[in-house]
Amino acid sequence: MSAERSTAIFKDATVKKETEQDGQIGRLCSVVQISGRRSNLVYIGWTNDSDSRPIVVTDEKRLSEEALKSIDSFRKSRLPIKSVDFSALTAVEFSLTGEPVDFKDTERHKAEDLVCYSVRTSEGQQSISLGELAVLKAIVEARQDPWQDMGFSRFTESVTAKTMYTIFVPTNENPYNSGMAIIFRPSIEGESNEIAFQLFVRQTLGKLLLLDEMQQPEKRKGYIAEAARISGVESEGLLSDMLLALGVVEYDKQGPNSSQLARRRIRTRLASLFFENVDPTGKIISDPGDYYDIENLDLQVLFNLAEKMLLVAENYLER
């Protein structure tokens, strides 16, 4: 399966498919050049009304004064405008990361897994699912030339432009070669959306790591090895030492990945005291996002991990 076939699937309803959507942009999240348009750029952000909906427009007349100032400042910086290979775009806002979907390989074909998300569209809350190739590729590409916004910062002696991350994925909707821009709302008005975007990346990688963890070792894609290599292995700490001393868990300190295995067994044993959703093989399936300490990785390291996982996925699915 190729990355080009990995698309976003809308589970509940269909969002408006045209590039142009109703409303005026109050805060920009991205400005891009899409294929098939001769001159106009595409502006992506939130409406300036009380609903503050995700929106895509092509007419600068539909931008607020603050958005126009942001574009003018960006142009003066001489930074490049990102190009995306879509003929039309729609915008949605990330809300929550849902569960991953594990498709089993067959004798003749390798299966691509999905991650589900809840997003807000111009029509309300909806559920979508993204193929692992599409979402990993989109995360990696988000690192390149993100939009930098003046935001609504008040004048001080110096103003730092706010990095605004957006990911772009193909959809299974018409028109042909349409795409979806997933935007991330800043936790503080006028600031960068890096915190929300980093949460999305960490949760997405964590869900894919969970699926790899749940497979038999010989059937794993290889995500786990890349995560362990990038995040490293921390010492077990006081709690681990106590449990080891009491014989609750044990491991061969000379064996490969011994401390990592001990940590997982400790977490499994502790989780079993509080949660019922621990499967018979001892894998925690409730919220595995902190496997391999990815909770402690900063955004740039998460980008590196996503890039490694993308290569792993491409190699696995092309076998």
Burial (Cβ within 10 Å: 0-12, 13-18, ≥19) of residue 42 = buried
Work out the pLDDT band at 280, boundaries 50, 70, 90: very low
pLDDT digits (tens, 9 = 90+) for 210-248: 898 888 888 889 898 899 888 775 434 444 445 445 554
R_g of the chain, CA atoms, integer Å: 22
Given a cut of 80, whether residue 209 has pLDDT beyond it is yes
Q: How far, in Å, CA of 261 to CA of 6, rounded?
A: 33
Q: Do β-strands 124-131 and 8-10 pair in parallel, antiparallel, or remain unpaired? A: antiparallel
Please say whether the dihedral angle defined by the alpha carbons of residues 15, 21, 24 and 29, taken in this order, is positive or negative.
positive
pLDDT digits (tens, 9 = 90+) for 253-278: 444 444 555 555 554 444 444 434 44
The pLDDT of residue 257: 46
The pLDDT of residue 32: 95
Average pLDDT value for residue range 284-302 = 66
**How many CB atoms are located within 10 Å of the residue 223 CB?**
25
- Contacts with 225 (C-beta within 8 Å, 6 or more apart), sequence order: none
Q: How far, in Å, CA of 264 to CA of 252, rounded?
A: 14
> What are the residue boundaries of the structural domains of the chain, listed by start?
3-197, 207-317
- Do residues 249 and 261 make contact, with C-beta atoms less than 8 angstroms apart? no
Q: Which range is most confident: 19-28, 106-115, 193-202, 244-253? A: 193-202
pLDDT digits (tens, 9 = 90+) for 136-182: 999 999 999 999 987 555 545 557 889 999 999 998 765 568 899 99
Q: How far, in Å, CA of 261 to CA of 120, rounded?
A: 39
Work out the pLDDT band at 7, boundaries 50, 70, 90: low
The pLDDT of residue 163: 95
- Do residues 29 and 69 make contact, with C-beta atoms less than 8 angstroms apart? no
- Do residues 280 and 260 make contact, with C-beta atoms less than 8 angstroms apart? no
Given a cut of 90, whether residue 55 has pLDDT beyond it is yes
Query: What mean pLDDT is reported for the chain?
Result: 78
pLDDT digits (tens, 9 = 90+) for 120-131: 998 889 999 999
The pLDDT of residue 295: 82
Q: How far, in Å, CA of 102 to CA of 198, rounded?
A: 24
Q: Which of 72-86, 133-147, 271-285, 286-300 has the lowest mean pLDDT?
A: 271-285
The pLDDT of residue 237: 44
The pLDDT of residue 125: 94
Burial letters 184-203, b for 16+ CB under 10 A, else e: bbbeeeebbbbebbbbbbbb
**Between residues 30 and 217, the one the model is more confident about:** 30
